[in-house]
Amino acid sequence: MHDPAEPDGTTPGAGLPRRLGLATAAAMVVAEVIGVGIFLTPAGMARSLGSPAGLIGVWLVMGLSAIGGALTFGGLAARYPEAGGIYVYLREAFGPRVGFLYGWMSMLVTDPGLTAFLAVGLSTYAGHLVSLSNVGLRAVAIGSIAAMAAVNMIGRSIAPGALRLLAGLKIGLLVFLATWGLASGRGDWSHLQPFWSARPGSPPMIQAMAGGLIGAFVALAGWWDASRIAGEVRDPGRTMPRALGLGIAIVTVLYVGVSLAFLYLVGVDGSSSSAVNDEAFAAMAGRALFGRSGEVALAVAVVVSVAGSLAAVLMAMPRAYYAMARDGLFFPSFARIDPARGTPARAVALQAAIASVLVVAIDPRLILGYFMVPTLAFLAMAVAGAFRLRKTAGVVIPGFPVAPLAFLVPVLIVTAMAAAADLKNTAIGLAVVAVGLPASFLVVPAGRGAGAPDDSP
């Protein structure tokens, strides 16, 4: 087992000073989440759910669920403030074999899948500014992956002040869209009618909820990556749960306001059924507010926002397989830090390369199906592991057991819905994870695969 901190207040073995407070930790959550999905999913969610009330309800349900998960992961991060995040929690709860499978899944499914999803969203907005063919859209997506990977491999770090500024700019953009969008008089209140009942022609209830819940989960995804800074946070036992909960609450309120503003300005019928126009919903709202110049300005803002999220993903996610290599469960070269730049360059390059292959190999509209179910399954397993670690390692979870159950139950529901919505790509993603099981016997020593966590130093 690992102690949460050494006597001098630094992360074990890392010597990281605890200099970050609540504001910076909450800003990390906001900066990580905004840009991951709000500009890519609201049109599809609104069309699926068929009513503004349904849209608001799904945002609130998934926001409360995420807060429950945040309290859970905040407690885990406070107990294990080290690089690796969920990989570390699964390793401690279920042993290194399960940790290896999570890292395997992260490396080949979740991390490149989310990276490709973001890059495709960025290229879609770029295509809204400049006419691009399908080949051109893929080229822009791959180019953005390569550019953000290069930035991370160079080793540029974001200071706490810059992080707070980035979060503030994203919050400012969404507050402006929500307030001015609803107060401008440029939309039509009839777009919000009927408010309570579903519009004629809306999908059946189960199909509608599947589309809405999956879209909301994607838009709110990524907050758990903020646990990677737990080793640099003052009083992580108090600060991390509060920062995660506060950040998610802010984002959820903003998402409700922005979604209503988009509907008021554009309406569900204002976007076609094509994926491009779904993901360019924000640009269409900008055109409704300010004409072509507003459309261009808002599309540029979205490109910058999504690029920031893409850079954050390429910075944070490779730490899982970096941590695996550090533990001797992956190629040792991936645990090496570039001596000149201080970055896990090989791990970043690997994620970027696999993501680029996905952009070419999978229909952009189906990338979500590839990584969604495996990711949700391991998230649920990590929450289940928190119950065990509460008993065996003294993990403190505020609001236990309501908080973890509030996250676990919706995650299981969304997992089933996502699997049913795209069986083919779900099966492909799960098959890639399954290949990791025999691979784990090659790297995990006998006797350390299951059962008690590894207690070796």
78-133 pLDDT, tens per residue?
Answer: 788 776 778 889 999 999 889 889 888 888 888 888 888 889 888 887 887 788 88
* 148 contact partners, CB below 8 Å, separation of at least 6: 307, 310, 311, 314, 352
pLDDT at residue 133, rounded to an integer: 86
CA dihedral 266, 141, 217, 113 (to 10 degrees): 160
pLDDT at residue 124, rounded to an integer: 81
pLDDT at residue 384, rounded to an integer: 92
- In angstroms, the Cα distances linking 62 to 32, 70, 162, 249 are 17, 12, 29, 11
pLDDT digit string (tens) for the chain, length 457 residues: 333 333 334 344 343 456 677 887 788 788 778 875 677 677 778 878 888 888 899 999 999 999 999 889 888 887 887 767 788 899 999 998 898 898 888 888 888 888 888 898 888 878 877 888 888 989 999 999 998 888 777 755 544 555 567 677 778 888 888 898 888 888 888 888 888 887 777 778 777 887 788 888 878 887 877 776 666 677 777 788 888 888 899 999 999 998 888 888 887 665 444 433 455 566 677 777 777 677 777 778 778 777 877 877 787 777 777 777 878 877 777 777 666 656 677 888 888 999 999 898 887 667 778 888 998 899 999 999 999 999 999 998 888 999 999 999 988 988 888 888 788 888 998 999 999 889 888 877 665 544 444 443 3
Q: What's the count of helices (H) and strands (E) in the chain, helices before strands?
A: 18, 0
Superfamily of domain 22-443: Amino acid/polyamine transporter I (1.20.1740.10)
User: Prior bond to 445 cis, omega within 30?
Assistant: no
Burial call 58-95: b when 16+ CB within 10 Å, e when fewer: bbebbbbbbbbbbbbbbbbbbbbbbbbbbbbbbbbbbb
- pTM above the 0.85 mark? no
Domain ranges of the chain: 22-443
